[in-house]
Amino acid sequence: MANATEFTNLDIEHLRQQLKHWVIQRNFQTIHTPKNLMLALVGEIGELAECLQWKSEGQNGKLEFSAHEYVHLGEELSDVLIYLIRLSDECGINLTEAVFRKIKLNSQKYPCNQ
């Protein structure tokens, strides 16, 4: 997989390809089934929830994190995104198209004037 410093923009398709290559290099295809990826995603969401659990909002209305907590939060968010991209790939879903379609549907469901 490319070095993290090589990325300046989040390209879902490029990331999907890099993750698939990473999986193939480690011969993880047999364990990266949709069910296993979904369960791993749920586990990572639980770890993300732990980062936010018991946090109170500061004066600006945002959660406050120490430097270490902030790094950890980014790691857990990344794990969630990685498993989500892997799951969509294994299910044959073009996540980019699905996201833009969903945004369009949500815009129709919740127009600006409401």
**What are the domain boundaries of the chain?**
12-52+63-109
Residue of 19, 16, 81 lying closest to 48 (CA atoms): 81
Instruction: Say yes or no to pLDDT of 9 above 90.
Output: no
Asked whether 41 and 49 are in contact (CB, 8 A), the reply is no
Name the least confident of 4-13, 15-24, 64-73, 95-104.
4-13
As a 3-state breakdown, the chain gives helix, strand, coil percent values, each rounded to 5, of 65, 0, 30
Q: How many residues does the chain have?
A: 114
Could you read off the pLDDT of 76-86 as tens digits, one per residue? 999 999 999 99
- 12-52+63-109 CATH: 1.10.287.1080
How does pLDDT run across 32-66, given as a tens digit for each residue? 999 999 999 999 999 999 999 999 887 888 898 99
pLDDT given at position 45: 98
Nearest C-alpha neighbor of 10 from the set 77, 59, 66? 77
Secondary structure of residue 62 in the 3-state scheme: coil
DSSP state of 82: H
